[in-house]
Amino acid sequence: MNVVAEMLLTDPAPAAIWATLILLTFPALLMLGSPEAMRHPGRTLRDLLTALRSARLFAGKTLPSPYASTPVPSAHNGSTRHLPTRSSSAGDVSSQHASSQHASSQHASSQHASSQYASSQYVSEVRVAAERAAVAAQRWQELWEQAEATVNAAYESWLDADARLRKAMVAARWGTPWSAPTCEEYAARERFLHRAVAVACDRGDLPAAALADALAGRNGWDARLHPVDQELVITKATVTYRRHCYDTAAAAELTARHDADLAHRAAGSLAREALAAPFTTVPSPATPAPGRRPMVVPA
């Protein structure tokens, strides 16, 4: 046995001192291993002591069981056995029932408020829609009236062109006067044709493309004809063009009348709905009651 062992056996005071010093070195090691602990040593010691106390208190506590043990005598050997019973009391049941009733009343009041809001919103939306439909119907009515006026004007122009054609055909029966076929004569006829077609285009009796055709001498325009024959050709082309304009205007008038009729029907329907909207009950959006989950239907 060496000297150290003999000293520890004969005098335990040095051993206790060494053990105390070793225990005290652990906090110092912890502090040296953490820079944050070196900055705040006092806070680190307090946290360490608090953690030790919490661990000791947690180790000494016992968690309560949700079920209480109730002794029940056994029918075989006379001994007792323990059955678990609920720890909830009648007060808990009544409080749960009261809370469910309160939630149901809140749900009903919210449903009523949402239904009133939906009804007022429905009334305002229908009123605005009826007003806009009335304005749109008035605009379609104006378009129909304009189309009808265009049809009447096109019909009158067609009748005037037809009357001029009849006069030109009567005049053409007398024949054309003779003239010498000279270059000056053909140049004059060409100038007359171009001038007459331009005037007809400006008047609206012919389309703009007719002037280009007359200048190019295509699509039936012949500058070599006598001015009387040229007038007859121009009048026939005018009647054809006026008839085409009338047919186009008549088709547009039918479409405008159909659209105006639909607009008036829609406006009338919305107006009647706006009058009946304050007396219509609008259901609120369906919301699940409290405590109930919506049913999921498989696809």
Residue 242 makes CB contacts below 8 A (sequence gap 6+) with: 154, 157, 158, 160, 161, 162, 205
Percent of residues, the chain, with pLDDT higher than 70: 62
Q: Whole-structure pTM over 0.75, yes or no?
A: no
> What is the band of 283 on the pLDDT scale with cuts at 50, 70, 90?
low
Segment 266-295 shows an average pLDDT of: 69
What does the domain layout of the chain look like in residue ranges? 114-279
Between 62 and 222, the more confident residue is 222
158 with 239: CB under 8 angstroms?
yes
d(CA 116, CA 99): 26
pLDDT in tens, 93-150: 455 555 666 556 665 666 656 666 677 788 888 889 999 999 999 999 999 999 999 9
Highest mean pLDDT among 97-101, 175-179, 193-197: 193-197
Instruction: Tell me the residue length of the chain.
Output: 299
Q: Are 144 and 258 in contact (CB under 8 A)?
A: no
DSSP the chain: --HHHHHHHH--HHHHHHHHHHHHHHHHHHHHH-HHHHH-HHHHHHHHHHHHHHHHHHHH--PPPSEEEEEEE-TTTS-EEEEEEE---HHHHHHHHHHHHHHHHHHHHHHHHHHHHHHHHHHHHHHHHHHHHHHHHHHHHHHHHHHHHHHHHHHHHHHHHHHHHHHHHHHHTT--------HHHHHHHHHHHHHHHHHHHHHTSS-HHHHHHHHHT-TT--TTS-HHHHHHHHHHHHHHHHHHHHHHHHHHHHHHHHHHHHHHHHHHHHHHHHHHGGGPPPPPPP-PPTT-PPPPPP-
